[in-house]
Amino acid sequence: MKEIIRADHSGFCFGVREAIEKAEKAADQCRGSIYSCGSLIHNKLVTEKLARKGIQVIQSPLEAEAGSTVIVRSHGEGKNFYEIAEKRRLKLVDATCPFVARIHDLVRTAKEKGKQVVIVGDENHPEVQGINGWCGDSAIIVSSPQDAKQITEDDLFVVAQTTIRSSVFDQVLRALEETGKTFSLTNTICHATSNRQKSCMETAKKVELMLVLGDTQSSNTKKLYDISKKYCTNTHFVENIKDLPLKEVEKCNRIGVAAGASTPECLIKEVIANMSENTLENNNEMNSMDALMD
Ligand code: F3S
């Protein structure tokens, strides 16, 4: 009998769910043009739905019509963004995740105290760029212990991109200790991320086939995939239902499902339902459906 195990923590995190609800409500109420600066989340299924509701994606607040509505996504924006928005009389729907907004406050205060801010994360990620924008774009951004060892400044204040792996943050801190730097820190890794990573790992250890659901552009989903692959080599990325590896599903009896924080519930349910249908067709047995739902 096939068993499908859904990772305990999977799918939309709190910040993403809030952002989408705010965006949908704003789109329903808005009479003029409405934009989001960058894709609201890294998931095509969701952004296509929002586009159908009239939300246009722009890359800068300068592209929005003066006086129009602009959604600030959960990744947050730098201070400069708000200054431009004010000058252009944009109506902001601020969906910055409160956990990200807290990092903005932390780095702004650290900068005011004369500390050198260090962000452990990906310099190209919009969240990191937004955080940097609250300390005058003066942060040192590191993504590895090797980067940390190159830092020449002292009196550092270290924060993390919310979605990085705890092990990377710990390695960077150890590297800073080894160089003898003076530093203080706030571990700003979001629990939603670490919970998803941990439960993905635990699920991957128990199964023959692991499916990681989400968009290939989503960094947190890609990280789940990497973690899963370490513990279950038979791991597949499923961006939409067409990617479901049906032959593997047929062969395996214990199948795990994990999903990134930007993966909509509809995809998770569709994948699970599809596997259940196939299981029923092929084995003529009932699935343990109780294990399927969160
Ligand atoms: Fe916020 Fe954490 Fe999600 S920072 S956007 S709740 S991954």
pLDDT > 80? residue 291: no
Asked whether residue 172 falls in the same domain as residue 140, the answer is yes
Number of structural domains the chain divides into: 3
Q: By alpha-carbon position, which residue is closest to atom 5 of ligand 1?
A: 15
277 counts as catalytic: no
Is 90 found in the same domain as 45?
yes
87 and 106 assigned to the same domain: no
- Establish whether 232 is an annotated binding residue: no
Our CA angle for 171, 159, 149, nearest 5°, is 40
Tens digit of each residue's pLDDT (9 = 90 or more) over 40-91: 988 888 989 999 999 999 999 999 999 999 999 999 999 999 999 999 999 9
Give me the domain span that covers residue 163: 99-185
Specify the pTM: 0.82
Tell me the pLDDT band of 277, cut-offs 50, 70 and 90: low
Boundary of a domain, candidates 151, 185, 219: 185
Residues 133 and 68 in one domain: no
Please indicate, yes or no, whether residues 285 and 205 belong to a single structural domain of this protein.
Answer: yes
| DSSP H helices in the chain | 14-29, 44-52, 79-87, 98-112, 126-132, 145-149, 166-179, 191-206, 219-231, 246-251, 265-283
The verdict on 87 and 107 lying in the same domain is no
Residue 130: give its domain's CATH number.
Answer: 3.40.1010.20
262 annotated as belonging to a binding site for a ligand: yes
ipTM over 0.90: yes
Per-residue pLDDT reduced to its tens digit, 191-234: 898 899 999 999 999 999 999 999 998 888 998 999 999 999 99
Residues 85, 27 share a domain: yes
Say whether both 220 and 266 belong to one domain. Answer: yes
Domain final position from 97, 120, 138: 97
Summarize pLDDT for 5-37 with one digit per residue, the tens: 999 999 999 999 999 999 999 999 998 999 999
Q: What pLDDT is stored for residue 210 in this prediction?
A: 98
Categorize the per-residue pLDDT at 292 as very low, low, confident or very high, splitting at 50, 70 and 90.
Answer: very low
Q: Is the pLDDT of residue 285 over 50?
A: no
pLDDT computed for residue 286 by the predictor:
33
Q: How far is the CA of 104 from the centre of ligand 1 (A)?
A: 14
CATH code for position 30 = 3.40.50.11270
Choosing from 48, 127, 208, 277, which is the catalytic residue? 127
Residues 202 and 161 in one domain: no
**Same domain, yes or no: 242 and 263:** yes
Ligand 1 binding site (Cβ under 6 Å of any ligand atom): 13-16, 74, 97, 99-100, 162-163, 190, 192-193, 261
Atom 1 of ligand 1, residue of closest alpha carbon: 15
Residue type, position 65, single letter: E
Ligand 1 centroid – CA 223 distance (Å): 15
**110 shares a domain with 89:** no
Residues 76 and 127 in one domain: no
Of 97, 120, 154, the residue at which a domain comes to its end is 97
**Pairwise CA distance, residues 171 & 285, whole Å:** 47
Q: Provide the percentage of residues in the chain whose pLDDT is more than 90.
A: 84
